[in-house]
């Protein structure tokens, strides 16, 4: 859809150059335990898995992990969701991403701190916005997963320039 000239000479809110219609985007990834079960160093070390990238000039608004089938492990396995800048915004902590919380049908949402609703902290957490492209990572704890499937949903806004 092309931009429409307005009588006062301004552009409609939410529209950018070239008719970019939606400044809010959602990325989803289905994650199977087999995708993250082994990592460099085996179960003695943390594994970092790159899930997807978000472009430069964005701020994260929300993050959810929807559990399809329960996540299990031989030990106290954990996962956390972060982004890759030096500030490393944590969207889901290892406490929220602990095995006990990852039961079928559960929805894990951003915790308090950098999350709660990540957008509500944008003013006090300047690290939520970045002018560089970022990678959303899933980091496992030291115990290995033995089962589980879930969907990671990350919403972000693009600052139109």
Domain for residue 138, yes or no?
A: yes
Q: Which domain holds residue 66?
A: 29-158
User: Where does the pLDDT of residue 71 fall: very low under 50, low under 70, confident under 90, or very high at 90 and above?
Assistant: very high
Model's pTM, two decimal places?
Answer: 0.75
Mean pLDDT of 8-33: 64
Domain for residue 12, yes or no?
A: no
What percent of the chain clears pLDDT 70, i.e. is strictly above it?
A: 66
For the domain that residue 43 is a member of, what is the CATH number?
2.60.120
Domain for residue 15, yes or no?
A: no
DSSP string across the chain: ------TTSPPPTT--GGG---SEEEEEEEEEHHHHS--TTGGGS-EEEEEEEE-SSEEEEEEEEEEEEEEEESS--BEEEEESSTT--EEE-TTTTBGGG--TT-EEE--TTTTSSGGGGTTT-GGGEESS-EEEEEEE-SSPEEEEEEEEEEEEEE---
- For the chain, what is the domain count? 1
Give the residue with greater pLDDT, 29 vs 40.
29
């Amino acid at each position: 859809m092309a931009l429409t000239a307005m009588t006062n000479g301004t552009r409609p809110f939410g529209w950018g150059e070239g008719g970019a219609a939606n400044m809010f985007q959602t990325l989803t990834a289905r994650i199977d335990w087999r995708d993250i079960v082994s990592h460099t160093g085996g179960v003695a070390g943390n594994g970092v898995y790159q899930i997807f990238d978000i472009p430069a000039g964005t701020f994260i608004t929300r993050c959810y992990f929807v559990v399809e089938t329960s996540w299990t492990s031989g030990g106290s396995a954990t996962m956390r969701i972060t982004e890759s800048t030096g500030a490393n915004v944590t969207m889901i902590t290892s406490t929220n991403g602990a095995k006990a919380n990852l039961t079928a049908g559960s929805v894990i949402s951003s915790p308090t701190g950098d999350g709660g609703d990540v957008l509500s902290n944008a003013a006090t957490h300047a690290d939520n916005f970045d002018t560089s492209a970022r990678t959303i990572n899933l980091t496992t704890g030291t115990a290995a997963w033995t089962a589980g499937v879930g969907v990671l949903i990350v919403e972000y806004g693009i600052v139109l320039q």
